[in-house]
Amino acid sequence: MSEVQGLSDPRIHGLSHEVVRHGRVSSLEEAAEARGVSPSQIIKTMVVRKTADDYLFVLVPGDRVISWRKLRQHLGVSRLSMPDAEEAREVTGYVRGTITPLGARRRLPVIADERIRGEVSLGAGAPGVAVTVSGEELIGSLDAVVADVTDPV
């Protein structure tokens, strides 16, 4: 078992990745600098609730935010919400700030913003630990649906 929880998940097998350990950071810019990438290359993994026990992951470039209008339209629903920190931990097995679709407690559907390309960095399930991967390979390994679901910050 890998010391980084998500890296033991079968969905990452065959996915070329580099583990980056940088310690705690307090901003997107600080995280980008510590990981050696631009803020747009950092991928935030957001847990979104559709109904009481129906969740999905939305992968969002660091310099963007979820467009709730676009996401609702894409999913064909009128209401979405974000679970609180405890509910997100129960669903994923991770605390906020470390959530990753790799190795989450439950396999959830994934929607990846269409701007995710090239080398990207995302949380690896522990504070101050990330993985650097190909955005295209990440999307393929997660069977993610690619859509325009974000707006600029």
**What pLDDT shows up at residue 29?**
96
Q: Which two tokens stand for residue 91?
A: 């669903």
- Model confidence, pTM: 0.92
Q: How much is the pLDDT for 51? A: 93
Beta-carbon count within 10 A of 16 CB? 9
Half-sphere CA count of 39, side-chain side, radius 13 A: 10
C-beta separation of 116 from 22 below 8 A = no
Q: What angle do CA 113, 70, 61 make, to 5 degrees?
A: 25
* Residue 15: per-residue pLDDT: 84
Q: Give the residues of the chain that fall short of pLDDT 70.
A: 1-13
pLDDT digits (tens, 9 = 90+) for 111-146: 999 999 999 999 999 999 999 999 999 999 999 999
Instruction: Specify burial of residue 54 (Cβ count, 10 A radius: 0-12, 13-18, 19+).
Output: exposed
Domain ranges (residues) in the chain: 5-152
Specify the pLDDT at position 5.
55
Q: Does domain 5-152 have CATH number 3.90.960.10?
A: yes
pLDDT of amino acid 91: 96
Residue 150: Cβ within 10 Å count: 23
The per-residue pLDDT for 1 is 32
Q: What is the pLDDT of residue 85?
A: 97
Residue 28 has which token pair?
């997107």
